[in-house]
Amino acid sequence: MSGDPPPLFEARDLVKHFRIRRSVVQAVNGVSLAIPRGRTLGLVGESGSGKSTVARLALRLLEPTSGELRFDGTDLRRASRTEMRALRRRMQIVFQDPFGSLNPRMRVLDAVGEPLAVHRLARGRARVDRVVELLERVGLSARDLHKYAHQFSGGQAQRIGIARALATDPDLIVCDEAVSALDVSVQAQVLNLLKRLQAELGLSYLFIAHDLNVVRYMSDEVCVMYLGEIVERGDGDALFADPRHPYTQMLVDAIPEFGRRERAVPEGETPSPSNPPPGCRFHTRCPQVAQDCRTEVPLVHRIAPDRTAACHLHDPRREVTLA
């Protein structure tokens, strides 16, 4: 038997197609991923690749078209309302826009204390004490209890969002572009706060961002998404040091301090998810495109013990085919 404990969260073959009048937007098209306890899974890809849809599906804020979701052994799609209410406490989300996700008319006490009230975890004096404890955890203090969101800087407001996410004592926090709206120096402070909280509380993160450097800094394992699909997955440092899928190579080449100039940077726009290219979805932009890429959907190939890529280049039968 394998020695690895079961992951805290698991998605299998997750599909979400949005029907809009005559067209179907294939936002997520068969995504499988697992988040081990106490670890961070990074999800990276350009805008529109389906990252936020995966986040919303994971938290059951959206119903999937098909696929499986498991949290701590429970099948989320079969969970009863009561089970789901109990599980919601254990999964929280931090969004990109700290001000947009906080009600401007709420004081910090009420914003951070709201989940405690909703889940009937604490009231009165106990609630105030718990909110102060949460504020101190994220680098704020009791002096902030009666202020409003607009009285804070972006970084401080995001700390309030994190305190609110922590209120129910979750196991999993989905961070969807949680630092993308912040200045670089403030980003680093919030990322370090998230890392410290993970170490102190044993949290698992699904860490979503379009910025490779941010994802690399935060993640143990990374999944790279393109047009609703995971094209490459692997250990974060190894993946960015030696990207193997042409799309990951393109993303890495776009970072000045990483990029290898000798690699051709592919041109062209990302196709629409309501009309994705046949075969490999990346073939219209791929500098290494071959005939079969235009017609055959690539399988996911294991190319190293902890690396997979969905690309015909990595098909072990390919040399035979080409010969």
Choose between 48 and 234: whose C-beta lies nearer to ligand ADP: 48
Instruction: Write phi, then psi, for 198 (nearest 5 degrees).
Output: -60, -45
Closest of 121, 202, 109 to residue 164, by C-alpha: 109
Residue 62 has phi, psi (to 5 degrees) of -135, 145
Q: Judged by CB under 6 A, does residue 18 bind ligand ADP?
A: yes
DSSP 20-58: ETTEEEEEEEEEEEEE-TT-EEEEE--TTSSHHHHHHHH
Rounded Cα gap, residues 293 and 287, in angstroms: 11
- Alpha carbons 127 and 131: distance in angstroms, whole number: 6
Strands, E assignment, the chain: 9-20, 23-35, 40-44, 66-71, 74-75, 91-94, 172-176, 204-209, 221-226, 229-235, 300-304, 307-310
Select 43 or 108, whichever has its Cβ closest to ligand ADP. 43
Least distance from C-beta 150 to ligand ADP, angstroms?
Answer: 26
Binder of ligand ADP out of 7, 42, 48, 246 (CB under 6 A): 48
- Residue 74 burial (CB count, 10 A): 14
Which residue type, as a one-letter code, is found at position 93?
Answer: I
Q: Is 52 in the site for Mg ion (CB under 5 A)?
A: yes
Q: Does 7 bind ligand ADP (CB under 6 A)?
A: no
Per rule CB under 6 A, is residue 64 in the interface with ligand ADP? no
Please say which residue, 51 or 245, places its beta carbon nearer to ligand ADP.
Answer: 51
- Considering only 7, 40, 41, 50, the residue that binds ligand ADP (CB under 6 A) is 50
Residue of 1, 3, 20, 256 interacting with ligand ADP (CB under 6 A): 20
> Least distance in Å: CB of 11 to ligand ADP?
14
The least distance separating ligand ADP from the CB of residue 26, rounded to whole angstroms, comes to: 8
Query: Considering CB under 5 A, how many residues would be counted as binding Mg ion?
Result: 2
Hey, which residues does 40 pair with through a beta bridge?
Answer: 205
Near ligand ADP by CB under 6 A: residue from 51, 245, 307, 314: 51
Interatomic CA distance for residues 323 and 321, integer angstroms: 6
Options 30-38, 50-58, 92-100, 310-318: segment touching ligand ADP (CB under 6 A): 50-58
- Given the complex with Mg ion, which of 68 and 97 has the nearer CB atom? 97
Residues between 266 and 305 with contacts to ligand ADP, criterion CB under 6 A = 273
Cβ burial, residue 268 (10 Å; 0-12/13-18/19+)? exposed
Residue 94 or 140: which CB sits closer to ligand ADP? 94
Residues 234-273, mask of contacts with ligand ADP (x by CB under 6 A)? ---------------------------------------x
Report the alpha-carbon angle 272-273-275, nearest 5: 70
Tokens for 167?
Answer: 């209120």
- Stretch of 17-25, 75-83, 99-107, 280-288 lying at the interface with ligand ADP (CB under 6 A): 17-25
Interaction site with ligand ADP (CB under 6 A): 18, 20, 25, 27, 45, 47-53, 273
